[in-house]
Structure 1
């Protein structure tokens, strides 16, 4: 998470703690967590007919094109005639918008933005299957005038590489990619875009080519909270993204630990442990979704990669990954680990005057330690699943 945002959230919590009002502290922490988890993100995807924009919408949501109920319709002809929203299946605050190609509507560039509802979008991705055209540039220039970001994506690069390999005696993938990128950039510069950002992608091989560069660019240019939301919602298509997700989730553990400490200040034996176990179960469930280890996400991954679901599940070592997360499962896992801190927390409540502050401190430590351990376990499983899905060596 962005350091400045983290400091701002912690300052809010600090002010509430200084008021010595535990209810206010709990409300402040919950507000901070809502900011982290529910900030809206609206991504506009546009391009000409057959450019692959609907497939790109689907793959960012982890949805197979063949999913008739939830997938954006795809085809070699224009399938998008109106602005269509596609919420992320796991993050309803993240919405991808499939926009009609500007060349397929009767609206000029400036009227087009008004037609599609420009204001609600955080950034635009303009997709082309070959070269970018005048209409794409006009749209980009209008977006720029209104102070928002746009990115050019050259899609279906895997097809281009196959064609080039068949036609060249001495084929070099890196050289071919550099030539395609340079041609796109020069073409856009001739049409009036001074420093175009062009990313070469294949929606069916998102772990290859420029997707990591696109992710890093968005991470750099989005506001901090929206950057965090995007990262957690992205499919885990690289070990780098999995590691970044882990770092983002690790940075948030302190908020749950502080909330645990607040509950630890309630002078009722047993209540802190019960609340902590329930909260931990909820947070770990979120971890599974973020890493794509929940059953619906694994089923979608199995469908898109053609790797059997049982094979993906077989490489997961953590019992947390293999089962539905419940308070009973969390308690069972904790019984196999060091429970001394949690036990000491309950004992400290019986100590006059200093007992409650001590219990709060121990509650913070135990929750932080448990969530960090569970996060490590699930992140390792996410790496194993990723490698299995790609047919790589699954040792971590």
Structure 2
């Protein structure tokens, strides 16, 4: 029979490998390699009795670093086409928000706007291309663009020569770019007033074809144009833009983008849920690793600390935190209590504290028994640590998975309410 450490990691390897498949955006072989690396590093740390390193391997190296992956998105185009409004909409905030990019003001230098929840995601509102200060052929020679992941070229009308030249220069840099035709809501309102027999789909098709034709005339091969209204991202083609951006990003930045996107449809919420679900095993593994620490009750303290952090992340990611619910209440003219009555998870709209997590654990009797069992079993000679580690892994995993499922449903209910008002 092997050592307690060997037995522990034999169990943990089996638990990790038996987790459900990761979400469709991740390569299974890539994730498998990362899981193996985590297990191997942890095993080496514990065999050397380096418990501090064992915990930091997951908590710092694999979790915090993942949450700090930078994503830089450049929003560009000519002046006055609605770049700032698009920056704000993408970040999920109103133009009147104190954190918003100012609209109706000409941008004279690149302005950075961090995402309000994920500061590692930055949107850059760039000066209008083709101005005297920023001619198209010099535009991309500035050092601003070295770390940009992709560009969104915005126009409120037909794309012009400067837009096409900019796209061609971006292509030379081997970076992705997307054409966004903005202010579609204004175009449709004008069409309703001027057309005797108004047909929204035909109007949209005409706008799209006009943009594509103009870009082809300027030498852009096979251009793809997305029709967007910054005031109604759930309408028209922002979802198609979102899917395209996800598909063309490197896998390690794809999840970063998904979590930063505003909740415009149930598909977005589902994708966020899958990203969060794919991270649960990290937290469960961290909890199991702490079981090797020979200090009474420390595992429960750490477990509750883990749950506080992760549940708070879920609330912000699904826009179920207090500030987001208050914003939803104001925008839909719905009393806050009425919104809360639609929600099932008791942590929605609250500050997640240790006391609240303990209350949630008490309501989940089986999981609470699991926490107690792991604390007791760890003192069984030789086999106590492996058993406690397995119990800890399973308890944390089930608790987070259950609450994640509940919160994703709550997010869908809030979205349904918002879209019904719009």
Shorter-chain TM-score range: over 0.9
Preserved CA contact (<8 Å) 1:91 1:233: yes
Aligned to 1:365: 394
For residues 226 and 302 of structure 2, what CA distance do their matches in structure 1 show? 47
Aligned to 1:220: 247
Selected match of 1:160 from 164, 169, 187? 187
Number of matched pairs: 390
- Cα drift, residue 7 of structure 1: 2.4
CA-atom RMSD in angstroms: 1.9
Which has the larger displacement, 201-210 or 341-350?
A: 341-350
Selected match of 1:38 from 40, 64, 68? 68
- Cα drift, residue 302 of structure 1: 4.5
Matched, 1:51 2:78: no
Which has the larger displacement, 302-311 or 359-368?
A: 302-311
For residues 305 and 108 of structure 1, what CA distance do their matches in structure 2 show? 43
Preserved CA contact (<8 Å) 2:76 2:154: yes
For residues 202 and 143 of structure 2, what CA distance do their matches in structure 1 show? 38
Aligned to 1:179: 206
Deviation string for 1:47-71 (max 9, x for gaps)? 222211100111111221112x321
Preserved CA contact (<8 Å) 2:112 2:122: yes
For residues 304 and 296 of structure 2, what CA distance do their matches in structure 1 show? 14
Q: How does 1:1-396 map to 2 (within 5 A)?
A: 2-3=26-27, 4-19=29-44, 21=46, 22-30=51-59, 31-67=61-97, 69-75=98-104, 78-115=105-142, 117-302=144-329, 309-337=336-364, 338=366, 339-391=368-420
Alignment CA distance shift 1:200-1:309 (3 Å): farther
Alignment CA distance shift 1:350-1:107 (3 Å): closer
**Please, which runs of 5 or more residues in structure 2 have no aligned partner?**
1-24
Alignment CA distance shift 1:59-1:382 (3 Å): same
- Cα drift, residue 288 of structure 1: 0.3
Aligned to 2:6: none
For residues 37 and 180 of structure 2, what CA distance do their matches in structure 1 show? 40
Deviation string for 1:136-175 (max 9, x for gaps)? 1111111100111110000011111122222223322222
Q: Normalized against structure 1, the TM-score is what? A: 0.93
Preserved CA contact (<8 Å) 1:312 1:389: no
Preserved CA contact (<8 Å) 1:236 1:291: yes
Alignment CA distance shift 1:83-1:29 (3 Å): same
Which has the larger displacement, 179-188 or 250-259?
A: 179-188
For residues 243 and 126 of structure 1, what CA distance do their matches in structure 2 show? 28
Q: Normalized against structure 2, the TM-score is what? A: 0.88
Preserved CA contact (<8 Å) 2:179 2:226: yes
Alignment CA distance shift 1:279-1:82 (3 Å): same
- Cα drift, residue 123 of structure 1: 0.6
For residues 100 and 310 of structure 1, what CA distance do their matches in structure 2 show? 43
Preserved CA contact (<8 Å) 1:318 1:378: yes
- Cα drift, residue 372 of structure 1: 0.6
- Cα drift, residue 89 of structure 1: 1.2
Which has the larger displacement, 330-339 or 125-134?
A: 330-339
For residues 153 and 118 of structure 1, what CA distance do their matches in structure 2 show? 19
Deviation string for 1:343-373 (max 9, x for gaps)? 2212212211101110000000000000111
Preserved CA contact (<8 Å) 2:300 2:371: yes
For residues 252 and 385 of structure 1, what CA distance do their matches in structure 2 show? 24
SS of 1:114's equivalent in the other structure is coil
